[in-house]
């Protein structure tokens, strides 16, 4: 599939924003962070900026962005529509939670309950995003549980690193300690999920071939003698993208090291190296920056390595 920059930014940014919302709600419910107005402004500001920026960027990949509103009407059958509905509905409790925290100075009791509802809606929205891809039987690389698991872990993982940096910067030690443990656990889980995902899609399992797609496999090996089209078209631009195996082999280690290993090591360093406050903040900032680079590469590969069944009619031998 064509790895559009707008969709890559959408899936990474919105996942981080919703993940950050989850941890803000958890911290409030556990009483680890008071209704600090400055903390709330920065935390909710970043979360909403990531969510809104990601959702808006997703419309850039549409042929007619001005018609995006029509997708909401197809929620009965379309996961894309369900994602849009879930995103809009999530704004209600999340916005009210932010209002209670920042304006009313309250993040306990009913305010915390509203926050937890918003956190649940945030996870539901991430799930609907994952199902846009996981439900596509025509793309075997996506049609599996590892796709859903990846989205549900990587978004909160990204958000946990941001929340950890904020908690440390504002001096909330108990919150930072909890978020440190959560971030480490999610980095380990995220790496395991991506390794299993890549093992699955590169494990030699063939779902379909040119022979099975055309129904001519019983006659022998099926090859394409001529292109179905003499000019470029939508199918070739969007569905026929190919990434060289040697390039993918180089990019996967970059995604692993930058997205998971470096942040993990930096988090360990902040916990055991006895760094000063400035050193800890620098290490956490570098951990988050490295994670962003790694996740961008990971998401690029997620799209670039996915083969659509239609490519079997354009020269691909198997998917």
Q: DSSP characters for 18-85?
A: HHHHHHHHHHHHTTSS---HHHHHHHHHHHHHHHHHHHHHHHTTSS-GGGGGGGGGGTTT-HHHHHHH
Please provide the CATH number assigned to the domain covering 5-314.
1.20.1630.10
Q: Which residues of 84-117 are buried (b: 16+ CB within 10 A; e: fewer)?
A: bbbbeebbebbebbbebbbeeebbeeebbebbbb
Q: Which residues contact 121 (CB under 8 A, 6 or more apart)?
A: 86, 89, 90, 93, 94
- pLDDT at position 113: 97
- H or E element: which one contains 161? helix 145-169
Length of the chain: 319
Residue 187 near residue 161 (C-beta atoms within 8 A): no
- CA-closest candidate to residue 47, choices 177, 160, 132: 160
Residue 31 token pair: 């009483």
Count of other CB atoms within 10 angstroms of residue 65 = 12
Residue 269 near residue 285 (C-beta atoms within 8 A): no
Residue 121 near residue 17 (C-beta atoms within 8 A): no
Cα angle value 5/6/11 (rounded, 5°): 100
- pLDDT at position 243: 64
Residues lower than pLDDT 50 in the chain:
none
Tell me how far CA of residue 65 lies from CA of 55, 186, 193, in angstroms.
12, 35, 33
Round to whole Å and give the CA distance between 188 and 236: 37
Domain boundaries, the chain: 5-314
Residue 98 token pair: 């932010």
DSSP lists the bridge partners of residue 209 as 318
Tell me how far CA of residue 282 lies from CA of 31, 156, 190, in angstroms.
26, 21, 23
283: exposed, middle or buried (Cβ count in 10 Å: 0-12, 13-18, 19+): buried
- pLDDT at position 73: 72
């Amino acid at each position: 599939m064509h790895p559009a920059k707008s969709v890559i930014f959408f899936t990474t940014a919105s996942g981080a924003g919703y993940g950050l919302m989850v941890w803000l709600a958890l911290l409030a419910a556990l009483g680890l962070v008071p209704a600090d107005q400055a903390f709330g402004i920065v935390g909710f500001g970043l979360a909403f900026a990531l969510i809104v920026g990601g959702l808006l960027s997703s419309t850039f990949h549409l042929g007619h962005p001005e018609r995006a509103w029509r997708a909401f009407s197809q929620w009965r059958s379309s996961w894309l529509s369900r994602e849009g509905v879930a995103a809009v509905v999530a704004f209600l409790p999340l916005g009210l939670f932010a209002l209670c925290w920042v304006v009313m100075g309250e993040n306990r009791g009913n305010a915390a309950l509203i926050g937890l509802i918003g956190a649940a809606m945030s996870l539901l929205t991430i799930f609907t995003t994952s199902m846009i891809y996981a439900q596509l039987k025509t793309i075997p690389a996506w049609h599996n549980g590892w796709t859903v698991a990846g989205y549900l872990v990587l978004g909160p993982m990204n958000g946990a690193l941001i929340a950890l940096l904020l908690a440390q910067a504002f001096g909330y030690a108990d919150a930072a300690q909890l978020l440190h443990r959560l971030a480490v656990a999610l980095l380990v889980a995220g790496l395991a999920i991506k390794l299993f995902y890549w093992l699955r899609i590169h494990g030699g399992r063939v779902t379909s071939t040119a022979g099975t797609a055309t129904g001519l496999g019983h006659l022998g090996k099926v090859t394409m003698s001529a292109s179905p089209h003499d000019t470029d078209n939508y199918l070739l631009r969007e569905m026929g993208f190919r990434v060289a195996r040697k390039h993918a082999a180089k990019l996967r280690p970059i995604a692993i090291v930058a997205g998971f290993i470096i942040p993990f090591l930096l988090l360990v360093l902040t916990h055991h190296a006895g760094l000063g406050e400035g050193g800890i903040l620098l290490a956490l900032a570098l951990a988050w920056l490295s994670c962003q680079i790694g996740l961008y590469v990971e998401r690029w590969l997620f799209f670039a390595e996915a083969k659509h069944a239609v490519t079997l009619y354009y020269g691909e031998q198997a998917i």
